[in-house]
Chains A and B, each alone.
Chain A
Amino acid sequence: MIGEFEYAHVSSVEQGCTLLTKHNGNAKILAGGTDLLVNIRNGKDSPTLLVDLKGIEELAEFQPNGKEGALIGASVPLNVLAEDRVIRRNYRALAEAAASIGTYQIRNRATLAGNLCNASPAADMAPALFVLDAVATVVGPHGTRTLPVQDLFVGVKENALSLDEVVTAITLPSQKPQIRTRFLKIQRIRGHDLALLNMAGCLDAASGKLRIAIGSCAKTPLLLPSLNEPVSEDASIDALVEKLNALAQGTIQPISDLRASAEYRRAMVSVLLKKILGALLHPKEEK
């Protein structure tokens, strides 16, 4: 037994919200459970009720190639994203981030929405979704609202949802062929560690618009302010790294913890920037 609590398998979002409202903060949403059950076992969390959303059909919806873009239901596990060929082609950073999380067994359970709602500063899915302009659909007792995924993150392990709201889906705008995206991270051990730094980049090769998001370097993952001028494919990577690194260093607020010192995290920003820019500007030259 990992703890004493009640369990409810609900078949509609409304039913889930009603239970969450009734338990007034003592109920927790159970999706993949790969963080929640560990926290309960360690005594860090002691909900009186777990509301399992995996039986809700609409939350299992997965349309990587919809008319408006991609729709990823809240209970879709990460391995589906890591292995889907449309996601890998059109939203490469998302597939790369998903494949980088935990182990194969964890990714068969862990969900995209769960990774976001946990609101860890190191959430690997966040930087990828930030640069992809992803939007979260949130349902609560008072209706449905949508918000940019960045706005879900409020502080360390603190999200913008009220106690009885549920993220039901993440949507991504359709990708034009000239959009290139990548995700990279630095961690001590593959599969058994969180990122000490993670980063995603998105380049529109036609307009030169570049977006970079960084995680594990502040209370929440961050989307860097855009550069004023468009980025051309023959731009000097070193000069770009210098500009973006200056921008990043003014924005991030890394801490020292068991994974890395704040200084090391700061130093690694330019390392990942260089790799990501190289991959975005010269995709064919990669080994």
Chain B
Amino acid sequence: MKPRDPTMHTIHLTVNGEREEVSVPAGMTLLELLRERLYLTGVKEGCGAGECGACTVLVNGLAVNSCLVLAVEVDGAEIQTVEGEAKDGKLSELQQAFIDEGAIQCGFCTPGMIMSARGLLSKNPHPTRSEIVEALAGNLCRCTGYEAIIAAVEKAAERGPKDNRR
């Protein structure tokens, strides 16, 4: 029998509602687990250092930079990525609001923006503009100038808490 590799860990987690069991090395980030093992490539790597927010996902409902979390740390956790937004082929209100407001240009920052906004709206369904700005301050966008993105989150909040409390 091969000796057990002390750097490998078996973890259990729920990703977008589905239970997963994976064996991961200690040095693997949550970002790498999601993209390279679970093929959830909506999660983007920008800076890899917690500056840009492109890799934002929700861990137990809280927005975090998945590049700064180890996969082993989320054993037992519930993860939400942008892939969990659309249900039955229908975009979420938040995604639709991004389209309606023209809040997407190149699209690279969009999954992170959506997840930061989701983290905010699930806790605070009717945020003020400054609360939206604060929640999105960790997400960089080089295309849109942010105004349309803020407007999209405002629109999603206006359109109704039903969808925003998922």
Residues of A within 8 A of B7 (CB): 4-7
Does B161 belong to the interface (CB within 8 Å)? no
In Å, the complex CA distance between A37 and B70 comes to: 9
Asked if B73 and A52 sit within 8 Å, CB to CB, the answer is yes
Q: Once the chains are docked, how many angstroms separate the CA of A75 from the CA of B7? A: 24
A109, B69: Cβ atoms closer than 8 Å: yes
Contact with B along A1-13 (1 / 0, CB 8 A): 1111111010000
Determine the chain A residues whose CB is within 8 A of the CB of B53 once the complex forms.
103, 105
Q: Is A178 an interface residue (CB 8 A)?
A: no
**Could you tell me if A105 and B65 are in contact, using CB atoms closer than 8 angstroms?**
yes
Contacts of B136 in A (CB 8 A): 104
Contact assessment for B27 and A104 in the assembled complex, using a CB-CB cutoff below 8 Å:
no
Restricting to B100-129, which residues have a CB under 8 Å from any CB of A? 116, 119
> What chain A residues lie within 8 Å of B116 (beta carbons)?
104-105
Alpha-carbon distance A143/B26, docked complex (angstroms): 30
B57 to chain A: closest residue by CB = A105
Give the residue of A4, A9, A105 whose beta carbon is less than 8 angstroms from that of B72: A9
Docked-complex contact B65 and A106, CB < 8 angstroms:
yes
* CB-based contact B62/A38 at 8 Å: no
Determine whether A41 belongs to the interface, using a CB cutoff of 8 Å to chain B: yes
Residues of A within 8 Å of B32, CB to CB, are 1
Find out whether the CB atom of A106 lies under 8 angstroms from the CB atom of B50.
yes
Interface range on chain B (Cβ under 8 Å from partner): 20 to 34
Q: How far is the CB of B10 from chain A (nearest CB, A)?
A: 12
Complex-state Cα separation, A104 to B123, whole angstroms: 13
- Give min CB distance, B129 to chain A, whole Å: 15
Q: Assuming A2-B27, A109-B69, is B134 touching A41 (CB within 8 A)?
A: no
Which of B6, B62, B73, B138 has a CB less than 8 Å from the CB of A103? B138
8 A Cβ contacts from A114-130 to B: none
Q: How far is the CA of A109 from the CA of B66 in the complex (A)?
A: 11
| Cβ–Cβ contact A33 & B51, under 8 A | no
Give the 8 A-B residue pairs with the shortest CB-CB distance, closest first.
A103-B138, A7-B26, A1-B27, A108-B62, A191-B137, A105-B138, A105-B65, A3-B27
| Chain B residues within 8 Å of A, Cβ to Cβ | 6-7, 9, 25-29, 32, 48-51, 53, 56, 62-65, 68-70, 72-73, 75, 116, 119, 134-139
What are 25 A-B pairs with beta-carbon distances under 8 A? A1-B25, A1-B27, A1-B28, A1-B32, A2-B27, A3-B27, A5-B27, A6-B6, A6-B7, A7-B70, A9-B75, A33-B69, A33-B70, A33-B73, A38-B49, A38-B50, A50-B26, A103-B139, A104-B63, A104-B135, A105-B56, A106-B50, A109-B68, A190-B137, A192-B51
Which residues does A use to contact B, with CB under 8 Å?
1-7, 9, 30, 33-34, 37-38, 41-42, 50, 52, 54, 79, 102-106, 108-109, 190-192
Supplied contacts A104-B134, A106-B65, 20 more A-B pairs, CB within 8 Å: A1-B25, A1-B27, A1-B32, A2-B27, A3-B27, A4-B27, A5-B26, A7-B72, A33-B70, A34-B50, A34-B65, A37-B29, A37-B69, A38-B49, A38-B68, A104-B63, A105-B50, A105-B63, A109-B64, A191-B138
